[in-house]
Amino acid sequence: MKILIVHNYYAETGGEDVVVQAEKQLLMEQGHEVLEFSRTNEKAQGLSLLFTAFRMIWSFDSARSLRKSIREFKPDVVHIHNTFMLISPSVYHTCQKLQVPVVQTWHNYRLLCPVAIFFRNGQVCEECLGHSVPWPAVLHGCWRGSRFGTLAVVLMLTIHRILKTWQKQIDVHIALSEFSAKKLSLAGFKAETIIVKPNYIDDVIHIAIEKSTAFAKDYALYIGRLSPEKGLDTLLDAWHDSPHIPLNLIGDGPLFEQVQRKINDNCLDTVNVLGKKNRGETFSYLRSARYLIVPTLCYENFPLVIVEAFAMGIPVIASRLGAIAEIVKDGITGLLFNPGDPLDLAAKASWAWLHCQEMEEMGSNARKAYTERYAKEVNYQILVGAYSIAAKNQKASQH
């Protein structure tokens, strides 16, 4: 097949960007011809807010450029991952006019929540659900703390809801979990157009093995952005009750200094902030961890780090929240704790530290879960199946 991938990269590389590249490589390895149409939000930093807001709603440049790419490349399907901010939903209309099947992977919840993660003031927020115009987000200035900026996102969502852009011009919607699929159904998508396909990454265990020859298993590990929705306060508060467990934190973000200050002020001597690490170094630390901790406070759509841990046979202790409670099977591939509850996390972390054999078994189950649900062959079959269904749906809509 000839597949045209459309993706708007973020200014700061994240999990979505990694998945896009992994899927692109997978398709090419399987003999498909792939062309990528992309923009990066780094370029938006030099633009006026008003111009960016207008382009967020409708980018004539993106529509024109994509039209040219489609006519020259002649793809069998267009797979769209992200259009926010610079590409804009205008490209869906371009694909419809040129009668090209469209598959959309929903990597976050922006369709239903202007800030994309259902999170506000330290907790889950679903205040905009049920509103045709998600005005509460403007009232709270949810996007980047700016009411004007949030208004631009809300206008984009409202205009394209009125136009039924996402309902009429996408042939197949890919949800990353059953939890996500249920949320997408609230947007009015027909059940038969929604397919559940988890994020794909290649088997990363060989990278860790190349980077390290000894796996000490003598620390717990957090990997992720140091930001409010990630539950770092919960994690550090839990370590008051788990002082004997070494904990390494890998990542950077707006809370870096605050996290370091809290560690120092509370004499958390076993907690070590390692900062940002490259991919190989991160995998080496992950492979040597006794378990990974994911203390998130928001509806994370599909944390890539969990699948990376599973690929390496590392069990996961995570919040019982959203899709994570679906990915991590409590007592089988890891342990779940009540989100935002440091005492529950401390209890689970301490139990896991003292019960090595049980956690090793969970690690083995995690590796098995990776091979059965997330490995290359399984993911590829679902992906090409989505493309085939999109082509059929698009033909049916023409009649």
- pLDDT score of 346: 96
What CA–CA distance (Å, rounded) separates 46 from 196?
37
Beta carbons within 8 Å of 376's beta carbon, 6+ residues apart: 26, 200, 202, 203
Cβ atoms 339, 314 nearer than 8 A: no
Would you say the CATH fold of 205-374 matches that of 2-107+164-201+376-398?
Answer: yes
pLDDT of residue 213: 46
* CA neighbor of 34 nearest in space, from 85, 81, 73, 80: 73
What pTM does this model have?
0.93
CA distance 291 to 182: 30
CATH placement of domain 205-374: 3.40.50.2000
- pLDDT for res 52: 80
Give the angle subtended at the CA of 225 by the CAs of 186 and 85, to the nearest 5°.
50
- Mention the CATH class of domain 2-107+164-201+376-398: alpha beta
Q: What is the pLDDT of residue 165?
A: 96
- Which mean pLDDT values do the consecutive 10-residue runs of the chain (399 residues) have? 96 87 95 97 73 88 97 98 95 96 96 94 93 95 92 95 95 96 91 93 63 70 96 95 88 95 93 93 92 96 93 96 96 98 96 96 96 92 96 76
Q: Which residue has the tokens 């930001």?
A: 227
As a whole number of Å, the end-to-end CA separation of the chain is 23
- The residues spanned by each domain of the chain are 2-107+164-201+376-398, 205-374
